[in-house]
Amino acid sequence: MFLATAVVSVILAVLLTLSAAMKLQRNPQIVDSVHGVVGFPLDRFWILALLELAAAAGLVIGLWVAPLGIAAAIGTVAYFVGAIIAHLRVSDTKGAANPAVPLALSIAALVLRVLSA
């Protein structure tokens, strides 16, 4: 069970780190989706990136400190639920699908971390 937890947590941490890097680099696709469509302020992208990097660190460190891993996984679930809600709020059903895969990984990371604690 722990091996599955480690694999899912590391994959999710890598995904979060890449997403944070794209936000900090102001990747045009990310800017168009998050700022242009959803309306999140461009000058606050760093906040989203910081949340993603903190979650990534929490997931990895949480492999040794179970409560931290559980908290990080809960945070990622909330983050991606919020992203889906933000897209749906502006009737962007196509864009709402983008955070669905990381949300599924976040839920898997949470369930696995709880079960392997």
What's the CA gap between 56 and 24, in Å, rounded? 15
How far apart, in Å, are the Cα atoms of 69 and each of 17, 55, 106? 16, 9, 11
What's the CA gap between 90 and 97, in Å, rounded? 13
The pLDDT of residue 117: 84
In this structure, what is the dihedral angle of CA atoms 81, 97, 13, 112, given to the nearest 10 degrees? 70
Domain boundaries, the chain: 2-116
What is the residue whose two structure tokens read 């959803």? 38
- Give exposure, 48-67, as e/b (b: 16+ Cβ within 10 Å): bbebbbebbebbbebbeeee
Per-position pLDDT tens, the chain of length 117: 899 999 999 999 999 999 999 999 999 999 999 999 999 999 999 999 999 999 999 999 999 999 999 999 999 999 999 999 999 999 999 999 999 999 999 999 999 999 998
